[in-house]
Amino acid sequence: MKPLDGITVLDLSRVLAGPYCTMVLADHGARVIKIEHPRSGDDTRGWGPPFVNGESAYFLSINHDKESVTLDFKHPDGRRLLDRLIAGADVLVENFRPGTLDKAGLGYKALSEKHPRLIYCSVSGFGQTGPRSREAGYDAVMQAEGGLMSVTGAADGPPYRLRGPIADGARGGFAANGITPARFAR
């Protein structure tokens, strides 16, 4: 038995910080249902090489032990299915730009009123409020603005991005670490 057995996580995130968060939860026993767009899926499905049997090794590494469902929640049938999945979930993780899911009736305020026991986790680069909240917060941006790139590479050369996505990994790990005690508080 693992610590999060019996917990269902709905993963509306993509690329790295959100999927890393839900990977950690899956590693600890949570059932994670990853929602992907029917036409494109998660952006990282195409990242490579390397590929394993035609699938991105990167995508597989960060999304192992998850179930995937494709649906378009802007379509009425997709929205009905998503609403059923939300009703059965303990946790929802998303990393859309702040305000995006509010427009679709899927923001924290709307869902917390309908599902008060749902733990809602938004992973973002610049927070939910403030002057930069609507900007995308990719790992390379965080490394550059945080000064990490200034201490890599040759002393007399240009800055270099670390190959490992340290900022996205940290954000995802912090999100998972916030969800776990929230579950106990609930």
- Catalytic residue positions, numbered: 168
Alpha-carbon distance of 63 to 3, in angstroms, equals 19
Asked if 178 contacts 93 with a C-beta cutoff of 8 angstroms, the reply is: no
Alpha-carbon distance of 113 to 186, in angstroms, equals 15
Asked if 11 contacts 22 with a C-beta cutoff of 8 angstroms, the reply is: yes
Helix ranges (H only) for the chain are: 17-27, 57-62, 76-87, 100-103, 108-114, 139-145, 166-185
Task: Show the tokens assigned to 92.
Answer: 């929802």
DSSP state of 97: P
What's the Cα-to-Cα distance from 148 to each of 142, 143, 151, rounded to whole Å? 8, 5, 6
